[in-house]
Amino acid sequence: MDMGLKNKTALVTGSTRGIGKAIALELAREGVHVLINGRDNDDVERTVTEIQAAFPETEPRNAAADLVDSRQREALFANFPHVDILVNSMGIYEIMSYDDVDDAVWEKYFRTNFLAANHLSKFYLPSMLSREYGRIIFIASEEAVMPSGQMPQSIRCHQIDAVVIIQKLVQADPRR
């Protein structure tokens, strides 16, 4: 399928395995230069090499960073100041009992599943608007709309909030 994405650049967060990696592979198949992210540099390098071998016409790159760490995020922004497509796929989850969810757990999930994607979106949105091209995609979970009760700490609803807020910001922007 030609989705008209050839030679675009996409940062796919959490793309060394799972859903993020699958998205990165499909984007590379479309001719997109993917920026591979995860905290483990060896995993990132391995994924970059794999995608480069499978799609040699593209230029996948190493965008290793812990996206919860503000200094590592800033370094990532300095290395990659513009992307055409941002896929916020990185997220954590585990089955937990509500009794075990203390403030530290709430904070960890909020920083990881909401704040990291929010910082990335806030950074990349202005240049997308000024270039009059951009896509920001959030991978959330049905836990956001139909909570199972097994992951009370996931606070997935905030990811849906982020999508709606960014959509409204873009709609309201006079440069749109």
Ligand X SMILES: NC(=O)c1ccc[n+]([C@@H]2O[C@H](COP(=O)([O-])OP(=O)(O)OC[C@H]3O[C@@H](n4cnc5c(N)ncnc54)[C@H](OP(=O)(O)O)[C@@H]3O)[C@@H](O)[C@H]2O)c1
The residues that touch ligand X, with contacts defined as CB under 6 A, are 14-20, 37-40, 43, 66-68, 89-93, 112, 139, 141
In the complex with ligand X, the residue whose CB is nearer, 67 or 128, is 67
In the complex with ligand X, the residue whose CB is nearer, 60 or 91, is 91
SS3 69: coil
d(C-alpha 105, C-alpha 73), whole Å: 21
Residue identified by tokens 């922007």 is 173
Nearest to residue 88, comparing CAs of 20, 6, 161?
A: 20
Write out the H or E segment, with its range, that includes residue 103: helix 103-109
CB of 29 to ligand X, least distance (A): 18
CB of 34 to ligand X, least distance (A): 13
CB of 174 to ligand X, least distance (A): 32
CB-CB contact of 11 with 20 (8 Å): no
In the complex with ligand X, the residue whose CB is nearer, 8 or 21, is 21
Spatial neighbors of 58 by CB under 8 A, at least 6 apart, are 28, 31, 32, 33, 34, 51, 52
CB of 103 to ligand X, least distance (A): 19
In the complex with ligand X, the residue whose CB is nearer, 1 or 146, is 146
In the complex with ligand X, the residue whose CB is nearer, 53 or 95, is 95
CB of 42 to ligand X, least distance (A): 9
